[in-house]
Structure 1
Amino acid sequence: MSSYNPNSYAGRSAAARSSAPARTKKHMLKLVILGDSGVGKTSLMNRYHSNKFTGQYKATIGADFLSKHVSITDQTGNVRNVTLQIWDTAGQERFQSLGVAFYRGADAVALVYDVGDAKSFDHLDNWRGEFLRQVGIDEIGANFPFILLGNKIDRPEGERQVPRQQAEEWCQRAGLGSMGGPIPHFETSAKTAENVEGAFLELATLAVLHEEKNRREAGPALSYAPTQRGVDLRRQGGTSYDTRGYNNDCC
């Protein structure tokens, strides 16, 4: 990660390295990917995790996660060695009742739509609202790290149904609450890898900055540990939701 967008949260945090001594901290973040079925959530996760892409579509059953180790610079210039647990959730309506088991404990959320599918964009408010309700946050001025990914920009231009400006207006309206500013927006392609790494870096950076803000304000950290057993987060690599009674040492 040698270059950053200076206007992004990741870029502004990285710039702090020149004005503060670097101290390494270990950290774990849980990132959740939400959006309609077929928008490319699994493909984005796999592209970021292992730089692989397959054009074959297979619906996610329940949820899967992958882990990746990265370095994030916080606002003070400290470098954190972060383990990202990236959760890919099912977009089908019949699995949405499982959401509470996966949403709790999330540090940041990527909302995904397909630039060639207007309905997937129209459903963003539902995905965002349902997540906030599940974790007990007021939707109005919600203080939680989100980013928005408009995926499949490798489509022929004639297939585009969601203009960039329309998505950015949505980001402005939804906003990041007291964190300030609109929700960051990236147009991505899991097929070509365009903007994928930058988007996940921004998501992880937002999660770190949000945690720091909570600590400075001496409020409780935004961590909703699952109260029910059923997800084994100690396993590395991909996994699927299982209702067996694992001991849950959730993040």
Structure 2
Amino acid sequence: MASRRRTLLKVIILGDSGVGKTSLMNQYVNKKFSPQYKATIGADFLTKEVQSDDRLFTLQIWDTAGQERFQSLGVAFYRGADCCVLVYDVNVQKSFDNLNNWREEFLIQASPSDPENFPFVVLGNKVDVDGGNSRVVSEKKARAWCASKGNIPYFETSAKDGINVEEAFEVIAKNALKNEEEEIYLPDTIDVGNTSQPRASGCDC
């Protein structure tokens, strides 16, 4: 009975509002896409059972609000993450420029034990828009940024058409699993309130 252990892997999706974070998550978990846009308030998550090397684990994917007024709500959800997915819209330069801010903010708030080697994956979403004629961020530029941050895996995706979504999340799951195996402890459940000691605002402890 003890031989079969189910592992919970926590994945956080970050990026500007409107880049398609919720749509990517829904396409991966439910194989559905909705053209209706509704901003995420706070954070929400979906789970998916995944098998790797005869081992069953649950991917818990957290979709966080991209709007600044809700970002403070996301801090507690960053803790205990096993992988962070950074998403931008290839048709919006600002969403790409903000990737660094999202990455830095995550590392500050999540406080991973080994920030230099914490697994990130970058998704350039909405490659389907206008047949690719509207894009302003080239694949070359995005890959160069990923290389400069320690060779972060990069995928160009379309949540609408399902392009590269499955492939991207396979890599996300593998990176999350690898990170989880390096952790010293394995909590049975994610308890947001108890994953770490509370820190005072501005405390660098």
User: Does TM-score exceed 0.5, indicating one fold?
Assistant: yes
3-state SS in 2 of match to 1:227: helix
Q: How many residues align?
A: 190
The answer to whether the 8 A contact 1:105-1:225 is kept is: no
Structure 1 residue 26, shift from structure 2 partner: 2.1
Per the normalisation by structure 1, the TM-score is 0.71
Any runs of at least 4 consecutive aligned residues in structure 1 with deviations exceeding 3 A, and if so which?
Answer: 220-225
Structure 1 residue 211, shift from structure 2 partner: 2.6
1:226 matched to 2:192: yes
3-state SS in 2 of match to 1:150: strand
Provide the C-alpha distance between the structure 1 equivalents of 2:191 and 2:109, rounded to a whole number of angstroms.
Answer: 12
3-state SS in 2 of match to 1:193: coil
Provide the C-alpha distance between the structure 2 equivalents of 1:59 and 1:197, rounded to a whole number of angstroms.
Answer: 23
Q: Gaps (5+ residues) in structure 1?
A: 1-22, 74-78, 176-181, 230-251
The answer to whether the 8 A contact 1:39-1:114 is kept is: yes
Per the normalisation by structure 2, the TM-score is 0.86
Counterparts of residues 1-251 of structure 1 (less than 5 Å): 25-73=5-53, 79-137=54-112, 142-156=116-130, 157-175=132-150, 182-212=151-181, 214=182, 220=184, 226-227=192-193
1:142-166 deviation line (CA, Å, top 9, x unaligned): 2211100000010122200110011
Provide the C-alpha distance between the structure 2 equivalents of 1:107 and 1:187, rounded to a whole number of angstroms.
Answer: 22
Provide the C-alpha distance between the structure 2 equivalents of 1:138 and 1:205, rounded to a whole number of angstroms.
Answer: 19
Q: Sequence identity, in percent?
A: 57
Provide the C-alpha distance between the structure 2 equivalents of 1:111 and 1:225, rounded to a whole number of angstroms.
Answer: 24
Provide the C-alpha distance between the structure 1 equivalents of 2:186 and 2:129, rounded to a whole number of angstroms.
Answer: 37
Structure 1 residue 225, shift from structure 2 partner: 5.5
Q: Gaps (5+ residues) in structure 2?
A: 196-205
Structure 1 residue 62, shift from structure 2 partner: 0.4
Matched letter for residue 33 of structure 2: F
The answer to whether the 8 A contact 2:79-2:111 is kept is: no
* CA-based RMSD: 2.2
